[in-house]
Structure 1
Amino acid sequence: MMIFYLASWFFQTRFLGKQKPLQTVLFITDQCNLSCKHCSVFNHQNPTIKSYEQIREELQYSYDLGSRFVDFEGGEPTLWRDGDRNLNDLIDLAKEIGFFTSTVTTNAQRPFDWLKANSIWVSMDGIHDYHDAVRGQGTFDKLIENVKGSGHKALSANMVIDSNNYVNVADTLEFVKQTPAFQSIAFNFYTPAFQKEKDPLILDWDKRREVIDYLIAQKKAGAPIMNSRSGLKKMKDLKFKKVCWMCNYILPDGTRLNECVGKSYNVCEQCGFCMAGEMRSVMNFCPDTLLSGLNLRHQN
């Protein structure tokens, strides 16, 4: 079923020029239990927590657009509640509507062994002090405790690389290799939420290219890196035609965007969201990217 849909979707978008999303990033709350330095999606004063019915409508809307993969995000999505319903009810709902798979992105500060998502992405911005410098003292130890206790078979780390932690990329990759609970790790580069020419967290382009060259070499050597080599190469200079309509976004306040939120913030020239390169590589029919995507979106 999934393969047939993907083939049809590719034909319609690649050869008929239709712009149909394949993936939905759905922010279900901006409530969070951390205040990470590089994040703009947390609200400790008056958090937005969407209702089950609102999320149902947003899922159906996205499905009708063409999306078949949903990523539940926050804030911290495991905090979401509506009466006696929790995140598993949203995962069941997405499956009921027809989504092939669902993914949850978590900071892993709470146990998540109860989650039924097909895949779980753990935000881990380096190891030990590098992670704690971004997310708070003690957060790395708590993350590892919950990762090792999760028992989930499709668990991956996601590292946002910035000007402070880029020197820890190699050690982080090695840590993932040595941690059986992790299946793989994805790498992105810090992108400012708003246009900031002198944001101190932005990694300069020369260092960014060095990191990408390292990741490509490690990927070629068999390292468990989620990014494809084709996608990584495109992120070295961003000189490719964007196809960011492949993913639609629904923000905590209900705003619906038919492409990456970065365009609204006018930060595309500083883009570090490596899915941009992956999406372009899909449209270019790069075999390694297609294989990475299928491995990522496996059904269980």
Structure 2
Amino acid sequence: HLCNLKCRHCPFWKKEKLSFSFLQAKNSLKALYDLGVRLVIIEGGEPFLWKDNSYDIRDVVAEAKKLFFSVGITTNGTLSLEANSDIIWVSIDGLKKTHDLLRGESFDRIMANIKRSTHPKIYAHTTINKMNQGEIAEMVKFLSPKVKGLTFQFHYPYSGEADDLVLTFEERKIVLDELIKLKKDEFPIANSYACLQALKDNKWRCHSWMIASVEPDGKLTQGCYIKGRGEVSCKKCGFSAHTEISLAYSGVIESIKAGKKILLSSRRLVHA
């Protein structure tokens, strides 16, 4: 949970900072693989801050690549984005003023790091909330030339955290219709149409057993991302990755194609 930002909508930076050794990381990756996991996303806190003596996050990624067909990193983008992962998601939660209000003054640094990075697959990831809902279209147009693609989810109130940021379903629908239109206009929105439609009312069937997480204390949890991290409310869910994965498992072709495009790297395709 070590992080260099204190985002308004995130509960994790407030948690106890536990050390996690390289050996623990290797063991956790193996435990995930043994459970049936075949792709892994490394999150934080801020993953690029992690170190164990001479080891850093690149060493963890290298170990993960031995097991998983796709390895990603989710980062706040304030540090160098040179990484050996197949994909990097950079959290960007608004245009400069809004982003900096939500996450602390970091927008300009993030944009500079994206521009400098040679990584071929950087995606912007946005959590939509009350503060940024009105500028999503402008954000898409601003970010599209700078990144490989964009993914969106909705703010979730972890145990009441930042409840004032949660959108109503009426507000969700307005934003989702806007994203659908932008996607039709060929902006690189990676969420499938099926996913964007499903998030309007949250009546999609969740296959939460497909997801597993490892906490900083090494505890492995199978099931909903919120499990063990906050109060689980399926009605309030805005985690589009859960939506996309569940739709793909249910045989929705759009979601299968979206996952393939985002997660299958040239590294894996070449060696397939």
| TM bucket normalised to smaller | over 0.9
For 1:217 and 1:243, locate their aligned partners in 2 and report how far apart those are by CA, in whole Å: 28
For 1:244 and 1:172, locate their aligned partners in 2 and report how far apart those are by CA, in whole Å: 30
Which residue number corresponds to residue 151 of structure 2? 186
Q: Contact between 1:34 and 1:135, CA under 8 Å: does it hold in 2?
A: yes
For 1:141 and 1:49, locate their aligned partners in 2 and report how far apart those are by CA, in whole Å: 30
For 2:237 and 2:32, locate their aligned partners in 1 and report how far apart those are by CA, in whole Å: 24
Report the 3-state secondary structure (helix = DSSP H, G, I; strand = E; otherwise coil) of the residue aligned with 1:262.
coil
Question: How far has the Cα of 1:43 moved from its partner?
Answer: 4.5
For 2:227 and 2:36, locate their aligned partners in 1 and report how far apart those are by CA, in whole Å: 21
Question: How far has the Cα of 1:73 moved from its partner?
Answer: 0.6
Which residue number corresponds to residue 264 of structure 2? 298
For 1:261 and 1:187, locate their aligned partners in 2 and report how far apart those are by CA, in whole Å: 16
For 1:104 and 1:203, locate their aligned partners in 2 and report how far apart those are by CA, in whole Å: 27
1:246 aligns with 2:210: yes
Quick one: which amino acid aligns to residue 251 of structure 1?
E
For 1:194 and 1:268, locate their aligned partners in 2 and report how far apart those are by CA, in whole Å: 13
Q: Contact between 1:195 and 1:267, CA under 8 Å: does it hold in 2?
A: no
TM alignment of 1:6-45, pairs within 5 A? 30-43=1-14
Which residue number corresponds to residue 145 of structure 1? 112
Report the 3-state secondary structure (helix = DSSP H, G, I; strand = E; otherwise coil) of the residue aligned with 1:223.
coil
Which residue number corresponds to residue 275 of structure 1? 241
Question: How far has the Cα of 1:263 moved from its partner?
Answer: 4.3
Matched length: 264
Identity %: 33
Question: How far has the Cα of 1:240 moved from its partner?
Answer: 2.2
TM-score, structure 2 as length reference = 0.93
1:52 aligns with 2:30: no
Which residue number corresponds to residue 41 of structure 2? 71
Question: How far has the Cα of 1:195 moved from its partner?
Answer: 4.7
For 1:274 and 1:76, locate their aligned partners in 2 and report how far apart those are by CA, in whole Å: 21
* Aligned residue among 289, 295, 299 for 2:255: 289
Which residue number corresponds to residue 161 of structure 1? 128
Quick one: which amino acid aligns to residue 142 of structure 1?
R
Q: Contact between 2:137 and 2:182, CA under 8 Å: does it hold in 1?
A: no
TM alignment of 1:253-268, pairs within 5 A? 253-264=217-228, 265-268=231-234
Report the 3-state secondary structure (helix = DSSP H, G, I; strand = E; otherwise coil) of the residue aligned with 2:37.
coil
TM-score, structure 1 as length reference = 0.84
Question: How far has the Cα of 1:111 moved from its partner?
Answer: 1.4
* Aligned residue among 123, 128, 131 for 2:99: 131
Report the 3-state secondary structure (helix = DSSP H, G, I; strand = E; otherwise coil) of the residue aligned with 1:120.
strand
Listed one character per residue, the Cα deviations across residues 259-294 of structure 1 (whole Å, up to 9, x for unaligned) are: 123244222221111122212210222222111111
Report the 3-state secondary structure (helix = DSSP H, G, I; strand = E; otherwise coil) of the residue aligned with 2:158.
coil
Structure 1: gaps of 5 or more residues: 1-29
1:122 aligns with 2:122: no
For 2:252 and 2:205, locate their aligned partners in 1 and report how far apart those are by CA, in whole Å: 15
Quick one: which amino acid aligns to residue 72 of structure 2?
T
* Aligned residue among 182, 199, 211 for 2:163: 199
